[in-house]
């Protein structure tokens, strides 16, 4: 059975990918740490759309997590036709103020698990007609962001990795998209210690995912879902101006959080 594998599927953008792909009558494997939420969502999508939605509980911050996902798919006879690498972690603050465990988890989830899972599933994706890989990056990928340094650097990695892989797979049936949303009202900010007000006026997750799916349908390599003009400025301004401006914004966020 061909399936779409979605990481970070229990909430936010990942949950919305599950909903919109289920509406396309795509069978799903939903990967996240929250077992109760995964089972609830899987049952809902199966009843509503008459598809299979299989939960797989996995902590992608742990070593060999991607191998566990790959082994589960093989054991169950499931063939990935889509891979949505959506799982991500973030934290705001000076580097030496963050726990090393949190830093390590960000690196593992945002980069290592994403690459390892892509490596695990790519051979089977190559066997499918019109296979898709969607890697969720961020508008933070386009500039260094002081006090959000590990997260923004990890998303730069995702952007460059996705673009390079897209070119490697040119002429094959596998499409690769780097999806770069801006602030989006999900639980991501809460878990990252970020003031929820920063996301209040963000782009709805349903719109982000809809745009991402259309971009993948149209064989786009990169999609920035909002606030394109500031990102264009980062390409032309001197680097020191970009990092000073990003630091000014981040410090303002931190001061509001301290009040």
Q: How far apart are CA 232 and CA 22, in angstroms?
A: 34
Decide: helix, strand or coil at residue 46: helix
**What's the CA gap between 71 and 60, in Å, rounded?**
14
Q: CA–CA separation, 159 vs 142, rounded Å?
A: 9
Beta bridge partners of 3: 80
Do residues 109 and 32 touch, judged by C-beta distance below 8 A?
no
CB 121 within 8 A of CB 5: yes
- Given 147, 151, 199, 248, the catalytic residue: 151
Among candidate residues 60, 59, 42, the one with its CA nearest the CA of residue 51: 42
Q: Which of 199, 236, 209 is nearest to 22 (CA)?
A: 209
Per the annotation, the verdict on 151 as an active-site residue is: yes
> What does residue 99 show for φ and ψ, rounded to 5 degrees?
-70, 140
From residue 91, alpha-carbon distances to 11, 33, 149, 154, 157 in Å are: 18, 18, 9, 12, 17
The residues assigned a catalytic role are 151
């Amino acid at each position: 059975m061909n399936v779409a594998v979605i990481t970070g599927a229990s909430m936010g953008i990942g949950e919305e990918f599950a909903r919109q792909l289920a509406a396309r009558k795509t069978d799903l494997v939903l990967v996240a740490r929250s077992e109760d939420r995964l089972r609830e969502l899987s049952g809902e999508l199966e009843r509503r759309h008459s598809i299979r939605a299989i939960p797989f509980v996995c902590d992608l911050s742990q070593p060999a997590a991607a191998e566990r996902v790959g082994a589960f798919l093989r054991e169950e006879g499931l063939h990935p036709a889509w891979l949505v690498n959506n799982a991500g972690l973030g934290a705001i603050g000076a580097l030496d103020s963050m726990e090393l465990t949190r830093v390590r988890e960000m690196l593992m989830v945002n980069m290592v698990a994403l690459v390892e899972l892509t490596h695990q599933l790519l051979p089977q994706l190559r066997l499918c007609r019109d296979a898709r890989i969607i890697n969720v990056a961020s508008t933070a990928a386009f500039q260094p962001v002081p006090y959000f340094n590990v997260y923004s650097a990890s998303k730069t990695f995702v952007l460059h990795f996705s673009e390079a892989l897209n070119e490697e797979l040119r002429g094959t049936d596998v499409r690769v998209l780097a999806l770069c949303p801006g602030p989006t009202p999900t639980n991501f900010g809460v878990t990252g210690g970020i003031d929820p007000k920063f996301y209040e006026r963000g782009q709805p997750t349903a719109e982000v995912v809809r745009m991402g799916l259309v971009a993948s349908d149209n064989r786009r390599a990169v999609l920035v879902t909002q606030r394109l003009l500031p990102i264009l400025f980062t390409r032309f301004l001197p680097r020191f101006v970009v990092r000073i401006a990003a630091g000014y914004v981040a410090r303002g966020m931190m001061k509001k959080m301290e009040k």
